[in-house]
Structure 1
Amino acid sequence: MRRGLIHAGAWLLATGAAVTLSWWGVHTVMSGTVYDPPRALPIPHVSGASAGPAPSARPMSSSTHRPPQAPTPARAPTPEREPERGTSSPGRPSASAVSRTPARPPQPPGELKVVNTDAGRVVLSLGKDSAKLVSATPASGWAMQVWKDPSWIRVEFSGGAAKKLTVFCTWHNHPPLVETVKT
């Protein structure tokens, strides 16, 4: 009887360890893939001939919205005194030791291309020679799959037996091109 309990305990330990290891491996590989919920960004609705939102328009929701703050008084810069020749200031390198490199301006975001279809919505950021998927959201009753490659993005919506709609964005040796294909 005791020998049977020892064997059962060893089997339970080995099985538990194997299941834990398998779950951890699958979870590590699958994190950050298309199985994570899509991250949708609010895109302002552009209507009519106006190219931008109305001056009083505010986003309905934003994770970066901050309440307005009272202006703070500007402080006058304090002049730094250079040490005399032959001496050095503790904790601060000499002016000749500091290399001054100009700051690079931030990269401008690409043009946002919104593709609205019956199957869902795809938002792409198009640059000069590349593109990034900003968000892809399937419509009700549709499923979605995303494939990415260094020179293309494919978002496929499928719903029902033979309903498929695919949004392609390619940029191999040409500026990004967006195409929609129904099958």
Structure 2
Amino acid sequence: MHETPGTPRSPHPARRRLVHGAAWLLATGAAVTLSWWGVHTVMAGTVYDPPQALPVAATQDEPTAKPPVSSSTHRPEPSASASAPSASPSRTSHSPKPTPTPRTTSPSPPPSGSVKSYATAGGRAVFDLKKTSATLVSATPAAGWSVQVWKQPTWIRVEFTSGDKKVSAFCTWHDHEPTVEIADY
């Protein structure tokens, strides 16, 4: 084949594939980065405090709460006849990491609050209600619903949203003991 003097020569098919592949990689990388950034931005606004574990309060029928004799997190105090502790922690084949031994000997006082759960059409809100304040323990939306939380010094609002439907659990304690009201709108 003869080339005419004014006709540009077409690039090799391998070079063309390389250019197309590089363009595809750049476009895909940009799309993934943009998508990740968008999801990250949306999710950053929905973060709320993680749930806190609360100790179980003693019932009024029990005069004093006694610490458990043994459990998975509490080990009995060693007796005087026990051998001296070793300088390095012992490891067993079942547990790769040593478990810490609690050093407290007296039980912690029971909490002054009461953990209450409120189920709504949009999800479940759990509050720890004390005499003069309240804290949000958790806010779990139902399937197809989202949750948003607002906190102020004298109130907490948990709002579940799905399309045009909204349900709020509104906990207030200004000049009174904490109360929770559920509103659908």
Q: Which TM-score band (shorter chain)?
A: 0.3 to 0.5
Point out the structure with max Rg over C-alpha: 2
- The normalised TM-score by structure 2 is 0.47
